[in-house]
Amino acid sequence: MKTSISQVRYHLFIIVLVGLLVMAVVFSISCGEEEQSTPSTPAPSVPVTEEWVADGTISVGEYSNSQIHGNYEIHWKSDEEYIYAGMKARTGGYVSVGFQPGSRMKNADMVFGFIADGEVTIYDMYSTGDFGPHPPDTDLGGTFDIAEFGGKEEGSFTIIEFKRELATGDQYDNPLLSGVNKIIWSYGSSDSLTRQHSNRGYGEIEL
């Protein structure tokens, strides 16, 4: 049986038409799936702001520097007068930083904070020995110099934010200098000033 050119054209036309129909159906199904997988409520996102607020949220852009030591992180920025810092650790206990230590903990100017029953407590302390003690500056005859602070517990994390003058004039606060400043850090599982840390270490922050 002979096939005419017009019959071939007709068959080609049908094949192309069916192909287009199949593509249209596949496209509409995949679009439908995408729509279904879009969550009805958007996932919570980290706020973006350059403004420093001691609210226990470390927002994107709030700090210009950060350093991560395992489950502990510190974020900071400074201006002519102040350092603004945010400490965050995977703990329900305390988070702490010590500025310009001598050997080990000795002579470190510490900021130590925790949240208990929703209330933020912060200490301006000074370690007098290699392994403490580190009483509040006020017990040593110094002054409390945390200008502003706040924090919160979020899931398994504790976050403490604070602002302090770079040089307070208190002999139990080590001045923070332009350039590299040594730090020690720690966090513990309790809200106690005397219970040893679960983890601790050394770092450097640049201002």
Binding site residues, ligand HEM, CB under 6 A: 96-98, 104-105, 110, 112, 131-132, 184-186, 188, 193-197, 200-202
Residue among 47 and 203 whose Cβ is closer to ligand HEM: 203
Residue 184 identity (one-letter amino acid): I
Q: What are phi and psi of 124, to 5 degrees?
A: -105, 105
Which C-beta is closer to ligand HEM: that of 181 or that of 186? 186
Shortest Cβ distance from residue 136 to ligand HEM (Å)? 12
Tokens of 110: 């510490």
Task: Tell me if the bond preceding 133 is cis, omega within 30° of 0.
Answer: yes
Q: How far is the CB of 117 from ligand HEM (least distance, A)?
A: 20
Q: Which is nearer to ligand HEM, 74 or 166 (CB)?
A: 74
The C-alpha atoms of residue 41 and residue 200 are separated, in whole angstroms, by: 39
Nearer to ligand HEM, 101 or 150 (CB): 101
In contact, 58 and 52? CB cutoff 8 Å: no
Minimum CB separation of residue 124 from ligand HEM in Å reads: 12
Quick one: which of 113, 116, 115, 118 has its CA closest to 185? 113
